[in-house]
């Protein structure tokens, strides 16, 4: 077996494989000297250490003697220091880690070849049974077999440098400096203890946006001066360190024949969650185990990748969220101090409100007080005022198309569907997209507000909500399907054209949604005026029907959305071209609706902040779209993404759309509604308390459990005014017993 690269991952893999089968001939090639290293400290989690202890007690025992352990995170921001405890960390010097692994490999009989370039990977593959490429982020092996591994490397927007100082910090430190050039941040942690031999040492990473770095001279001396309080006047030192940008490495495959990638060669995760060495060591454990468990190499490498890929993908999602948070750090420095600290701690979405409350209840309570939570009130149950409407809590039942109307008239199904969710405790219940004309429907089953029968049916529903679910508000979402209309209902074939009974489609430009979709007609100015009138007529009916809030649907590729996206608007007149022109018709509709909508009732706008497709709406354009609607009087922006073009490639994951809401809220200082795979009340509390959103809209959780909000209150032990159980349901406000439970044990012996 050949191991290319003598970092922790490669060495640990060699040691484990040799320990499991001493007959194996294992050679490690490392081009540097044994004590060469370009980092300083290494952080490992308790979970990873547990795996090491089980797999190789000798290595664990040697590491245990070296570890520095601590449980505090300290955040310094605008002269205020915040401390949160309960976050167990363990670290040691990278040189010591390598020395321990060198010694273990030698004891086991691994052939270590330092200052030696590995032979060409293709030759190794021909002459060895297994080649482990642990040759780092710039892996030559990965490049040699690029056609098989199909790597994607993404560079990011910050510069950083690895440094050290001869001072043992007593916590994981995040310090923020605001300079004339921009925001600079320090990440620091100890890796050796003070002793008779010296004062101990800490890793210090200095990071800033690329444009900040280019605007100034950030020497070691200047960086030490910026963070002199944290460093207590100690200088910073380098070890061939250079300013660089982080690169995220993703590979479609991790093995090809008998060559397998491990550690940074296979994947990287940003240093702000401290996971590079951790991932490499875990890779080594999994690879060794799979080789022992599987009958042949092919199945072993497949099992290794199947086991590790989901873990790595989860870590990379968290690392990307953390990386992007630090890239956008300037957005948050103006936050109240405790909110800023909480936002930083929860940036990767792995640490949450509930998790942090368990770790450090005092710190979390102080953040809640600053947020304005009444005593004993979770953030999600604090009220929010939009214009003349006060929402009793921050939970929104997101618009969900039910495709169950007849001739646009909502029926008993809608009454039960929306009524049940209002009874379930949400602060705001939204209708599905309600269409402003028969031709504006998505499917024959879509609800409308284009005639009196429909308005009367909606009034029945709003009356029920207001009478039977006091405190719940109900909102209507108005929209026009545009080129995405005249299709089957979802469960018969989503976005598939009707086989018969079609109606003509219109759009900004004559572009079908899919090749098999109907070709829409390009709207004329006269037709634009007609559609504008359809929206105002529907809004007038909505007001009379008793809706508390109106949302204009400008997302998901429907008519108004397709004016906004450059992928769907190819017009050359005053309604196409620049973003200002693409905004013109949606803003005309918004203004017309705002004029007829009661002034005390709020209006929101749902937008797609990205099309998830090349050439689509950019981040800067999404901000301009949100700003334009806010200037025209929108009370909140409902920030969704995608569904504009069929060949989109969304980056799915937990809360995956919330960063778009976060940027709009914190760049523009406007209220936002966050949507997209928010599934737990803990997520809702975390997003609100961090200042990333003002409201959270949940769809599928409310399909699974109409009483999701009531149950969230019960699970948190909350019984205040932010939610109330209907009198008829109050007996069910505690979970029922599910079977026999053991009662109290009788005393059967004397003495203790």
Element (H, E) at 539: helix 525-544
587 assigned to some structural domain: yes
At residue 199, the pLDDT reads 87
At residue 742, the pLDDT reads 63
Element (H, E) at 204: strand 201-209
185 assigned to some structural domain: yes
My answer on whether 196 and 225 are in the same domain is yes
At residue 739, the pLDDT reads 67
My answer on whether 316 and 377 are in the same domain is no
My answer on whether 718 and 617 are in the same domain is no
301 assigned to some structural domain: yes
Give the Cα separation of 435 and 547 in Å (integer).
15
My answer on whether 239 and 340 are in the same domain is no
Beta-strand relationship, 27-30 and 41-44: unpaired
Q: DSSP characters for 464-500?
A: HHHHHSTT-EEEEEEE--GGG-SB--HHHHTTPBPSS
At residue 234, the pLDDT reads 96
Strands (E), 371-503: 384-386, 389-391, 395-397, 428-435, 473-479
604 assigned to some structural domain: yes
My answer on whether 664 and 702 are in the same domain is no
744 assigned to some structural domain: no
At residue 53, the pLDDT reads 86
Q: DSSP characters for 15-28?
A: HHHHHH-TT---EE
Statement: the pTM of the whole predicted model exceeds 0.75: yes
544 assigned to some structural domain: no
My answer on whether 253 and 349 are in the same domain is no
Task: Give the domain CATH number at 225.
Answer: 3.50.50.60
My answer on whether 342 and 313 are in the same domain is no
How many angstroms from the chain centroid is the CA of residue 182?
25
At residue 743, the pLDDT reads 63
pLDDT along the chain (752 residues), means of 10: 96 96 97 81 82 87 90 93 91 92 96 95 96 96 97 96 94 96 96 86 96 96 96 93 95 97 96 87 95 96 96 92 95 94 93 93 94 94 97 97 96 97 97 98 97 98 96 97 94 91 96 95 97 98 98 97 98 97 98 98 98 95 98 98 93 86 96 94 96 96 96 94 91 76 67 54
The question of whether 558 is a catalytic residue gets the answer: yes
Q: Dihedral (C-alpha) 341, 345, 349, 352: value to the nearest 10 degrees?
A: -90
∠ CA 364-370-355, nearest 5°, is 20
My answer on whether 370 and 322 are in the same domain is no
Burial letters 172-188, b for 16+ CB under 10 A, else e: bbbbbbeeebbbbbbbb
My answer on whether 581 and 712 are in the same domain is no
- DSSP tag of 422: H
Q: Give me the sign of the Cα torsion angle 608, 609, 614, 615.
A: positive
Of 304, 332, 450, 558, which is the active-site residue?
558
Give the Cα separation of 30 and 16 in Å (integer).
18
474 assigned to some structural domain: no
Q: Could you give the number of structural domains in the chain?
A: 3
- For residue 269, the enclosing domain spans 2-329
255 assigned to some structural domain: yes
My answer on whether 163 and 30 are in the same domain is yes
Task: Give the domain CATH number at 601.
Answer: 3.20.20.70
My answer on whether 579 and 727 are in the same domain is no
Give the Cα separation of 255 and 272 in Å (integer).
28
My answer on whether 64 and 184 are in the same domain is yes
């Amino acid at each position: 077996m050949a191991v290319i690269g003598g970092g922790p991952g490669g060495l640990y893999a060699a040691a484990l494989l040799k320990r499991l089968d001493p007959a194996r001939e294992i050679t490690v090639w490392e081009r540097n000297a044994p004590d060469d290293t370009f980092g300083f400290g290494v952080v490992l989690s308790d979970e990873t250490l547990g795996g090491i202890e089980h797999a190789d007690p000798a290595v664990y025992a040697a590491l245990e003697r070296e570890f520095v352990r601590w449980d505090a995170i300290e955040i310094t921001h605008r002269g205020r220091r915040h401390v949160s405890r309960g976050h167990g960390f363990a670290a040691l010097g990278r040189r010591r880690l390598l020395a321990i692994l060198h010694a273990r490999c030698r004891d086991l009989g691994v052939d270590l070849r330092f200052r030696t370039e590995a032979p060409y990977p293709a030759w190794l593959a021909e002459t060895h049974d297994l080649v482990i490429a642990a040759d780092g982020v710039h892996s030559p092996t990965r490049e040699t077999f690029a056609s098989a591994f199909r790597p994607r490397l993404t560079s990011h927007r910050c510069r950083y440098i690895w440094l050290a100082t001869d001072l043992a910090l007593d916590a994981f430190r995040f310090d923020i400096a605001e300079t004339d050039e921009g925001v600079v941040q320090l990440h620091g942690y100890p890796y050796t203890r003070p002793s008779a031999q010296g004062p101990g040492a800490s890793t210090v990473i200095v990071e800033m946006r690329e444009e900040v770095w280019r605007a100034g001279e950030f020497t070691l001396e200047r960086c030490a001066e910026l963070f002199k309080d944290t460093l207590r006047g100690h200088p910073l030192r380098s070890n061939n360190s250079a300013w660089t940008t982080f690169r995220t490495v993703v590979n479609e495959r991790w093995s090809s024949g008998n060559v397998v990638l491990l550690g940074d060669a296979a994947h990287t995760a940003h240093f702000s969650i401290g996971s590079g060495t951790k991932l490499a060591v875990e890779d080594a454990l999994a690879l060794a185990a799979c080789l022992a468990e599987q009958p042949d190499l092919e199945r072993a490498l497949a099992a290794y990748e199947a086991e590790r890929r989901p873990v790595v993908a989860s870590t990379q999602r968290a690392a990307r969220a953390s990386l992007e948070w630090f890239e956008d750090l300037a957005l948050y420095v103006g936050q109240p101090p405790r909110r800023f600290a909480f936002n930083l701690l929860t940036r990767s979405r792995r640490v949450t409100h509930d998790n942090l409350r368990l770790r450090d209840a005092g710190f979390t309570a102080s953040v809640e007080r600053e947020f304005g939570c009444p005593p004993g009130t979770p953030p999600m149950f604090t009220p929010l005022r939009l214009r003349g409407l006060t929402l009793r809590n921050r939970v929104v039942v997101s618009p969900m198309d039910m495709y169950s109307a007849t001739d646009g008239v909502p029926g008993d199904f809608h009454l039960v569907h929306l009524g049940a969710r209002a009874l379930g405790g949400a602060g705001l219940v939204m209708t599905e997209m309600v269409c402003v004309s028969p031709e504006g429907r998505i499917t024959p089953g879509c609800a409308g507000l284009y005639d009196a029968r429909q308005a009367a049916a909606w009034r029945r529903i709003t009356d029920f909500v207001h009478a039977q679910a006091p405190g719940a508000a109900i909102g209507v979402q108005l929209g026009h399907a545009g080129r995405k209309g005249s299709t089957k209902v979802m469960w018969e074939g989503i976005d598939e054209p009707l086989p018969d009974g079609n109606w003509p489609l219109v759009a900004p430009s004559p572009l079908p949604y899919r090749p098999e979709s109907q070709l829409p007609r390009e709207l004329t100015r006269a037709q634009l005026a007609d559609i504008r009138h359809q929206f105002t007529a529907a809004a007038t009916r909505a007001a009379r029907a008793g809706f508390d809030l109106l949302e204009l649907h400008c997302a998901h590729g429907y008519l108004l959305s397709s004016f906004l996206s450059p992928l769907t608007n190819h017009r050359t007149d005053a309604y196409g071209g620049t973003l200002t022109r693409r905004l013109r018709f949606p803003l005309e509709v918004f203004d017309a609706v705002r004029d007829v909508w009661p002034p005390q009732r709020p209006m929101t706008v749902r937008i797609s902040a990205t099309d998830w497709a090349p050439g689509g709406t950019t981040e800067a354009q999404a901000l301009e779209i949100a700003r334009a609607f806010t200037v025209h009087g929108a009370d909140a922006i409902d920030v969704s993404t995608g569904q504009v073009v069929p060949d989109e490639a969304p980056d799915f994951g937990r809360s995956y759309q919330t960063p778009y809401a976060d940027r709009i809220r914190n760049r523009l200082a406007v209220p936002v509604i966050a949507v997209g795979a928010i599934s737990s009340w803990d997520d809702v509390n975390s997003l609100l308390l961090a200042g990333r959103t003002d409201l959270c809209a949940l769809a599928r959780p409310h399909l699974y459990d109409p009483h999701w909000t009531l149950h969230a209150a019960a699970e948190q032990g909350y019984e205040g005014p932010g939610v109330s159980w209907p009198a008829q349901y109050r007996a069910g406000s505690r979970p029922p017993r599910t079977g026999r439970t053991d009662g109290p044990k009788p005393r059967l012996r004397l003495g203790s």
